[in-house]
Amino acid sequence: MLPTDANNQTFSRRDEKIAPGKLAAAQYVIAAILLVLFAGLWRLQILGADNYRLLAEANRVRKVPILAPRGRLFDREGRLLVDNYSSVTCFLLREQMRDADLPLIAEGLHLPMDQLQYILRHYQYAPKYQPIPLKQDITPDEQAFISAHFNELPELETLEEQRRLYPRDGFAAHLIGYVGEISENDLKNPKYDFYEPGDVVGKFGVEEAYDAILRGTDGSRDVIVNSHGREIGKLGEELAVPGKDLKLTIDLDLQMVAEKVMEGKNGGLVAMDPHTGEILAMVSRPTFDPNQFAVRLSRSYWNGIVTDTNHPLMNKAIQAQLAPGSTFKVIMTLAGLQENAAQDLRVVCNGGATFYGHFFGCDRHHGSVDIRNALPYSCDTYYYTLANKLGIDTIAKYGHEVGIGQKTGVDLPGEASGIMPSPEWKLKAQRDKWYAGETISVGIGQGATQASPIQLARALSGIASGGVFIRPHSVMADQIDPQMQQALEETYPGTGKKRIEISTENWETITDAMANVTQSSIGTAAEAHLEGIDFAGKTGTADVISGRKKGTADKATLPNAWFVGMTPRRNPDIVVAVLWEHGYWGNNSAKLAAQVVNAFVEKQRKKAGNLRLVQAALPQPPNQDSGAKDDKSAQPSASAKPVAPADKDAARPASQPVALKPKEQKPAA
């Protein structure tokens, strides 16, 4: 009889037992689970012990960067131009960040909320452990806010660093440049492969060209932090290596004069030593304040300078590409003499001449003009005729030889190459053939001809130096090693150093004619004459529109005023090129250049005078013949060594002309 329950229901004995198969399956599942758990425990506790120990240590230890101070900049005499100052930057630690804290952070750091969110988006793909720079150069009250919310805002951290301090009022801003936070576009450039978001790099001028030398190597400090991310101890420190200081070629005294003469004008000025290529002064107007770029640039300031139609961010000394006007006539004179086409060329100027059915005007009726008075007169009619006689191919050949239409290779970013027009150039650039009438305009530096002040400075000083052309540079040569020098030449390619053959007779004819531009009553820059100084040069008045009217009240239609001058006339010690946009006559720029040249000469004379005073104050060697050791009137013996001058400039005042060499000899470099 089957068993019954309390309700007298029957059931089978088989219902009281679990099937052996199900029991075995459950046992296998439990064993597998235990095996997985034991394997995971083995991996965590045994195999991954070292790795997790490091991760735990990383949570306990933080690496705080120590930013390297950037190298300082000095002028050629060791006077400080660009320094650093201590600044505090606020960083955001994203690992500790809470979205609810952002409004309070924005309020305490005086940051608009949209700007704070933009910064977070900018760094969204950066590693989580990398601190985000929120605000640079924070104020004392912002530092107090961070300290007061020490526990409430653990994601905020401060770091003291050295920041750039530039001269005021944009002094030498285009030469020196500025630094700024690396941009997204920069990071896409292979040049910045080793840089990270937030890095500060050189953005312009010397700061950019020599960034690798100036930036130094950052260090780091290992600190112990608590669970809130706050520093509670130190473990070790790797010191930062400061960037190298650099001595620039500019002369502070000369730069100050150049800045003053260009104040309120629009254009560029460059002064250079033709012997070495050292840039003694460089000015571009209007200018900008590089200190604005040293911290996070305000949007209002940036919009103001990028929308300025006078282009304050353009270095017009090396980037302006404009018709050189009559300064090009020096190159025409060289071409005419070297090709034996100008020696016997005589033209009667009656206010212009007709070529190919078109009348080309001249500003005056100069009468009879030859190669010796063509430059002082700046007679367009003469150079129209010479251009027609030479032809565009010959003109372009000499233009290219002296560097027109080519970069000089100056060690500054953004140099423009200009244009030396030719049939080949026009076919390539405009898909059109060359017309003979275009050659006439090129002969006076108009038409498609374009040059920058530094190109003209190098070209005309090279001609005055007997055909020796030097690469301009802004940092003293002894400041960089040969490997860096080679890298610079590859980064900023140009015509570099070269020499062309100029006969001594032609050299003297050209340089004497340039001297008569400023020293003769017929010269176009007679008002810029400097008494007692062998000052030579060439003016240029370049039309900006065709058919301008003299005396027009519209400044935008006035010609650009050019002048390139030097002292002495042969083998000059300094060359100054001035571009004054809409400055009207080239004579106006000549007066500006004369002030810079006069300051240079006066300084050289003073140095030479001081040297003579030092030499006179030195005790004189005794006269060995008389044996009187204390005889002050005795002369030094032939074997006594004279005191060496302080430098080559002190040995001979710049105003003293070089003695003319015999005509059968080549001019000295």
Residues 626-638 pLDDT 10s: 444 343 333 333 3
* Domains assigned to the chain: 62-121+129-147+154-247 (3.90.1310.10), 267-278+315-604 (3.40.710.10)
Instruction: Give dist(CA 369, CA 385) in Å, integer.
Output: 11
CB-based contact 518:526 (threshold 8 Å): yes
Confidence grade of residue 662 (pLDDT, cut at 50, 70, 90): very low
Tell me the pLDDT of the chain averaged across its residues: 84
Size (the chain), residues: 669
pTM, entire model: 0.78
Question: Closest by alpha carbon to 120, among 110, 105, 141?
Answer: 105
Residue-level pLDDT at 636: 35
- The amino acid sitting at 616 is A
CA dist list (Å): 48 to 32, 34, 36, 62, 456: 22, 20, 16, 22, 70
What pLDDT band is residue 656 in, cutting at 50, 70 and 90?
A: very low
Mean pLDDT within 146-160: 84
By the 8 A CB rule, do 118 and 194 touch? no
229-281 pLDDT tens trace? 566 667 777 788 899 999 999 999 999 999 999 999 999 999 999 999 999 99
According to the model, what pLDDT value does residue 661 have? 35
Mean pLDDT (whole number) for 452-478: 96
Q: Is 250 exposed, middle or buried (0-12, 13-18, 19+ CB in 10 A)?
A: buried
Q: Helix (H, G, I), strand (E, B), or coil: what is residue 384?
A: helix
CA distance linking residue 399 with residue 389, whole number of Å? 16
What are residue 231's DSSP bridge partners? Answer: 225
Q: What is the pLDDT at residue 657?
A: 36
| Bridge partners, residue 223, by sequence | 62, 234
Q: Which of 468, 75, 578, 460 is nearest to 280 (CA)?
A: 75
Q: What is the pLDDT of residue 642?
A: 33
Confirm if 165 and 83 have CB atoms less than 8 A apart.
yes
DSSP sequence for 480-502: S-HHHHHHHHHHS----SEE---
- Answer yes or no: is pLDDT of 86 > 90: no
The answer to whether 337 touches 509, Cβ cutoff 8 Å, is yes
SS3 360: strand
Q: In what order do the strands lie in the sheet with 267-272?
A: 279-285, 267-272, 574-580, 560-567, 536-542
330-372 residue pLDDT tens: 999 999 999 999 999 999 999 999 999 999 999 899 999 999 9
Q: Do residues 293 and 205 touch, judged by C-beta distance below 8 A? A: no
The answer to whether residues 517 and 538 touch, using CB atoms and an 8 Å cutoff, is yes
pLDDT score at 341: 96
DSSP H or E run through 376: helix 374-377
Q: Closest Cα partner for 383 from 336, 351, 419? A: 336
Handedness of CA 395, 396, 397, 399 (dihedral sign): positive
Distance CA(570)–CA(515), nearest Å, equals: 10
